[in-house]
Amino acid sequence: MTNILGTNDQVLHLSTPDENRDTVIELARQARHQIDIFSQALDPVLYDNEAFERVVFDFARLHASTRVRILVQDASNALQHGHRLLRLSQNLTSSIFIRKPSQDHRDEQGAFIIADSIGYLHRVVGSQYSYNAIASFMAPQRAGQLGDYFEQAWEHANEDPQLRRLYV
């Protein structure tokens, strides 16, 4: 069964890095308006691969109003290893935005991606060592709850001084 954003309301229980990566890519590929990512360290298995980079690049260029917002708690490893999303954000500055959560939101241990406020993937423990996740391509209520948390965190977030040097 193919999962279609806004159509399939099946809850997916994921447990492997490949399942998580494939679902993240598919959610982003089907998004048309907004992608929000809350991550501990921009897990390279999920977000630092050619397929995800291509999908985000294509998404960001769909039209002027598409947005990718990323909250990352610790970008140091991503910076050190030349993470694809960080490089992509340099080239698409009007579509991809990266911030660091304020102190009030740094204790969040989960990680998630939301596509168009309809679909989501949520890992309760956002560590790259745990890939137990729940996802759905049609769950506006749960995606909305995660979106409300993201919105609150985004409004209080700051530019990460480590990332600022990327734009010089």
Tell me the per-residue pLDDT of 63-112, one tens digit each, with 9 for 90 and over: 889 999 999 999 888 988 889 999 999 888 899 999 999 988 877 788 99
pLDDT at residue 159 is higher than 90: no
pLDDT confidence tier of residue 128, bands split at 50, 70 and 90: low
Q: Answer whether 104's CB lies under 8 Å from 156's CB.
A: yes
Question: Can you tell me the distance from the alpha carbon of 157 to that of 168, in angstroms, rounded to the nearest whole number?
Answer: 21
- The pLDDT value given to residue 1: 56
Amino acid at 36: D
Domain range 32-161, its CATH number among 3.40.640.10, 3.40.50.620, 3.30.870.10, 3.40.50.300: 3.30.870.10
Interior angle at CA 154, CA 82 and CA 122, nearest 5: 75
pLDDT at residue 139 is higher than 90: yes
pLDDT confidence tier of residue 2, bands split at 50, 70 and 90: confident
Amino acid at 66: T
pLDDT at residue 166 is higher than 60: no
pLDDT confidence tier of residue 125, bands split at 50, 70 and 90: confident
Q: What are the phi and psi torsion angles at 85 (to 5°)?
A: -65, -35
- The pLDDT value given to residue 105: 81
What is the average pLDDT value for the chain, to the nearest integer? Answer: 91
Interior angle at CA 33, CA 31 and CA 39, nearest 5: 70
- Long-range CB pairs of 92-96 (<8 Å, 24+ gap) are 92/57, 92/60, 92/61, 93/167, 94/64, 95/60, 95/61, 95/66, 95/67, 95/68, 96/56, 96/60, 96/67, 96/68, 96/70
Report, as an integer, the average pLDDT of 150-165: 85
Which pTM was predicted? Answer: 0.93
